[in-house]
């Protein structure tokens, strides 16, 4: 096959179809489910907020539009930057990405990628979340010098933002590693890393579990460090993670946040794009009821 993009599209569609074959009940196929058009949403790590958001979006979409001949499926991926490339290369139908303003600062050649995608809807906020070992008495980013720090998967915007902050403001960890949410929760509980810094939506089931079971805590950013973040990324917003989101939090957490966007590949069927957009307009209350990530829609 001479066209690599065509090949990737065909392989992606086959993969989604195989997923549907093995996940939908046999009774569904008796009613013609095998003929439904598969629609993919590339998200992120299964324990992070992108995947939770994509799963809720697909749940609401399928509730209303399976009868129209479509079937939405959430797929695990490597994060926002990788999702942008997957859309531009037409490997994904939809994907969750960071806000365009943030990507213009941190993602190489973003303008080229942006020309190949359409922005469908603003979805949830992601908060810079700093999870640390309690016994180390880490109270700010300045305390991360000579520490073992995880900044998220290579290719995620989280990693790009945090590493730029370290470089710009002279933070010199002992070592920086790149692990996704699933590995990171375990490594924090096993005390294999000193801190994990990540943009993520809240509430998050993984954070609820690790805060309850392990000797870790989420720390607030000092006002000076919040200002530093808005210097390197002016579109970050000063905000709080509410203490009401986790029973063991004990206080509101001062931090910064960014929007996330549901984006589509440029050539997607306009009807599908409009149906997906309607999930956020006509069925917003259902999204919020399914997942509190969407409570600020």
Please list the residues that pair with 148 across neighbouring strands. 175
Query: What's 65's DSSP letter?
Result: H
- Its pTM stands at 0.77
Q: Which CATH number fits domain 126-259: 3.40.710.10, 3.30.300.30, 3.10.180.10, 3.40.190.10?
A: 3.40.190.10
Q: Where are the beta strands (DSSP E) in 37-174?
A: 37-42, 70-75, 94-98, 117-133, 148-150
pLDDT digits 0-9 by tens, 46-101: 888 899 999 999 999 999 999 999 999 999 988 888 899 999 999 999 999 988 88
* Residue found by looking up tokens 């530093």 in the block: 228
Please state which CATH number belongs to domain 4-125+260-294: 3.40.190.10
pLDDT digits 0-9 by tens, 22-42: 554 443 433 444 568 999 999
Residue 177 makes CB contacts below 8 A (sequence gap 6+) with 148, 149, 150, 151, 193
Which tokens hold the place of 118? 């359409």
* Rounded CA separation 101/72 (Å): 28
Round the average pLDDT of the chain to a whole number and report it: 87
User: What was the pLDDT predicted at 194?
Assistant: 98
* Rounded CA separation 121/119 (Å): 6
Q: Do domains 4-125+260-294 and 126-259 have the same CATH topology?
A: yes
* Rounded CA separation 178/199 (Å): 14
pLDDT digits 0-9 by tens, 231-271: 988 889 999 999 999 988 889 999 999 989 999 999 999 99
Domain map of the chain by residue range?
Answer: 4-125+260-294, 126-259
- C-alpha 177: how far from its chain's center? 19
Distances (CA, A) of 264 to 32, 88, 201, 274: 26, 9, 21, 11
* Rounded CA separation 256/135 (Å): 25
- C-alpha 104: how far from its chain's center? 17
């Amino acid at each position: 096959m001479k066209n690599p993009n065509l090949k990737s599209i065909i392989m992606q569609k086959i993969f989604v179809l195989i997923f549907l074959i093995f996940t939908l009940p046999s009774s569904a196929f008796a009613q013609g489910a095998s003929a439904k058009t598969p629609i993919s949403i590339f998200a992120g790590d299964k324990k992070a907020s992108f995947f939770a958001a994509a799963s809720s979006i697909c749940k609401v979409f399928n509730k209303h539009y399976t009868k129209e001949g479509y079937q939405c499926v959430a797929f695990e991926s490597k994060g926002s930057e990788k999702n942008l490339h997957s859309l531009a290369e037409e490997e994904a139908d939809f994907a969750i990405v960071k806000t365009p303003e943030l990507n213009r600062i941190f993602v190489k050649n973003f303008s080229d990628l942006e020309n190949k995608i359409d922005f469908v809807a603003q979805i949830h906020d992601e908060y810079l979340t700093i999870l640390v070992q309690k016994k180390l008495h880490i109270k700010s980013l300045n305390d991360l010098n000579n520490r073992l720090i995880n900044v998220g998967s290579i290719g995620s915007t989280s990693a790009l933002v945090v590493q730029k902050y370290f470089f710009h403001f002279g933070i010199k960890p002992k070592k920086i590693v790149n692990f996704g949410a699933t590995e990171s929760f375990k490594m924090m509980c096993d005390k294999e890393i000193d801190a994990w810094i990540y943009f993520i939506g809240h509430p998050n089931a993984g954070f609820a579990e690790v805060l309850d079971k392990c000797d870790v805590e989420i720390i607030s950013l000092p006002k000076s460090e919040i200002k530093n973040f808005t210097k390197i990324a002016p579109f970050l917003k000063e905000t709080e993670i509410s203490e009401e989101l986790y029973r063991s939090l004990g206080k509101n957490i001062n931090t910064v946040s960014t929007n996330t966007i549901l984006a589509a590949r440029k050539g997607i069927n306009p009807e599908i794009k409009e149906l997906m957009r309607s999930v956020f307009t006509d069925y917003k209350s259902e999204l919020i009821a399914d997942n509190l990530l969407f409570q600020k829609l």
